[in-house]
Structure formats: C-alpha cells, structure tokens
Amino acid sequence: MSDERFASDAFGTKHWPVEVRLKKEEKRLEVDFDNGRTFSYPAEFLRVHSPSAEVQGHGPGQKQTVSARRHVGIMSLEAIGHYALRIVFDDLHDSGIYSWKLLYELGEDQDRLWAEYLAELEAKGLSRDPRGRR
C-alpha cells in the first residue's frame, strides 16, 4: 500500500481535519487541519458559499447570489463518510456537502471570497439582512 493514499484521495483532500468545533452561540464553525492551520468560518459565509446545486446551479454561470442570511446559524453537523460534512443551517438549508478539501479552500480564500460576495450584493442591490431588518 502506497503512502500517497494518505496524502490525497479521490476528492483531492490534502489536509485532513484533526478537530471540528461547532460554536452555535457564535454562529461559527472552526476546523483545525493536520498541517497546523485553523480556520474559523461564520455560518453566513458557509451558507452563502454552499456547494449545493441550489446555490451553485447545475452548470457554469448559474451560481445564485444568496442574500438576507446575516443572522443564519448552524443547527447541526453530520459526517459524510470520512471526506465531508453536511451542515444543517437554521434556515433549513441542508443540501450542501462540504468536503474537507472545499472547507480548506474556503478557509484559505475567505477574505477574498467575502469581499467578492459583499461587492456582488451591492452591485445587485441586495442586502445581508432579511427584509425589514436593514
């Protein structure tokens, strides 16, 4: 058996989680990876970047802009095999499967992705707040 199996898998995972912490009160997910990196993800960030077809669409150019999720929280986490998490948000969105590879990439690119999301909301005249809560 080759050691390469542990360096990567069929999903392209290179960094594996060593600890996952759901901080419900803070509306945040924290993941420590095996290379010493730790990422702290706000629930809103994970929700608007969900890998689900509802958000990403079914092909190039179909990504939806999810607005009005400033107050979203995470109700629960479900391990999907050894490769991913299903996150159940309190707006009842639960169809995104967040692979460890995706979570690592989201953590590395969080600042850029968040800035792009805020610019997209502004360009489309949308808000992070639900109607009536601006």
pLDDT reported for residue 18: 96
Please list the pLDDT of the chain residue by residue as tens digits (134 residues): 333 434 445 567 889 999 999 999 999 999 999 999 999 999 999 999 999 878 887 777 788 899 999 999 999 999 999 899 999 999 999 998 999 999 999 999 999 999 999 999 999 999 999 886 54
What H or E segment, with its residue span, contains residue 5? helix 4-7
SS3 content of the chain, % helix, strand, coil (to 5): 30, 25, 45
- CB within 8 Å of 27: residues ≥ 6 apart: 42, 43, 44, 71, 72, 73, 74
pLDDT reported for residue 67: 94
Closest CA to 49 of 29, 28, 64, 27: 64
pLDDT reported for residue 54: 82
CA dist 127 and 121 (Å) reads 6
